[in-house]
């Protein structure tokens, strides 16, 4: 068993029937889990400067910020529509039923920035793919998409074939 796995709590039927929610609260609560997870995320990052880490709302903000500090990078918020106060750029993406969108501030990425995209869970990959498109629209380069865990049955990697995708855990 990976040393992180013991800190991931499965919650059946949350937030809806049929969803097995992967809860990282126990991982954050225990300093050994938190430190081990941060070390594993950092170890996956390739050598070379990372200018910005992007955290995807909302659990991606947690380790994303800590990772940025460890990598000596800046940190950028990718948020649901209407949450960011300054001028934004948006990218929509398909859900199983309907559509959603993700936004970043227009000055979040500079041309040529080397960017790492981070979230806690890679599920269908739609959100991370939309964030990668925003990075590229703003002239940045996605160096890696990294996640604490992937839910393999949902094939999120297929939406991220153009990128280096790394996950600490795989379910
Ligand atoms: P995705 O389907 O990859 O676009 O994921 C959408 C968002 O929902 C991401 O921020 C994931 O972290 C989150 N998410 C999706 N499925 C789960 C799950 N089973 N447990 C916890 N978070 C999830």
Instruction: Give all domains of the chain, ordered by start, each with its CATH number.
Output: 46-170 (3.40.50.2020)
Cβ(19) to ligand 1 under 6 A? yes
Confidence (pLDDT) at 110 = 98
Are residues 24 and 148 in contact, defined by beta-carbon separation less than 8 angstroms? yes
- pLDDT tens across 32-65, in order? 999 999 999 999 999 999 999 999 999 999 999 9
Cβ(122) to ligand 1 under 6 A? yes
| Selection from 70, 54, 63 nearest residue 33 by Cα | 63
| Selection from 171, 167, 120 nearest residue 144 by Cα | 167
Q: Both ends of the chain: CA-CA distance in Å?
A: 12
- Distance (Å) from CA 149 to ligand 1 centroid: 10
Burial of 114 (0-12, 13-18, 19+ CB in 10 A): middle
User: For the chain (length 171 residues), average pLDDT per consecutive 10?
Assistant: 92 95 98 97 98 98 98 98 98 91 98 98 97 98 98 97 98 97
- Distance (Å) from CA 122 to ligand 1 centroid: 6
Atom of ligand 1 nearest to the CA of 124: 2
Q: pTM value? A: 0.97
């Amino acid at each position: 068993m990976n040393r992180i796995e013991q800190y991931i709590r499965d919650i059946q039927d949350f937030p809806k029937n049929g969803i097995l929610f992967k809860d990282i609260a126990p991982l954050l609560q225990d300093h050994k889990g938190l430190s081990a997870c941060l070390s594993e995320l950092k170890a996956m990052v390739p050598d070379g400067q990372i200018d910005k880490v992007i955290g995807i709302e909302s659990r991606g903000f947690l380790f994303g910020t800590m990772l940025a500090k460890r990598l000596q990078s800046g940190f950028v918020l990718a948020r649901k529509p209407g949450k960011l106060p300054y001028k934004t750029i948006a990218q929509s993406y398909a859900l199983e039923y309907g559509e959603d969108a993700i936004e970043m501030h227009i000055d979040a990425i500079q041309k040529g920035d080397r960017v790492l995209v981070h979230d806690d869970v890679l599920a269908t990959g739609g959100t991370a793919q939309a964030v990668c498109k925003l990075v590229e629209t703003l002239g940045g380069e996605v160096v890696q998409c990294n996640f604490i865990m992937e839910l393999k049955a949902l094939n999120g990697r297929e939406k991220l074939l153009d990128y280096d995708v790394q996950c600490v855990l795989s379910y």
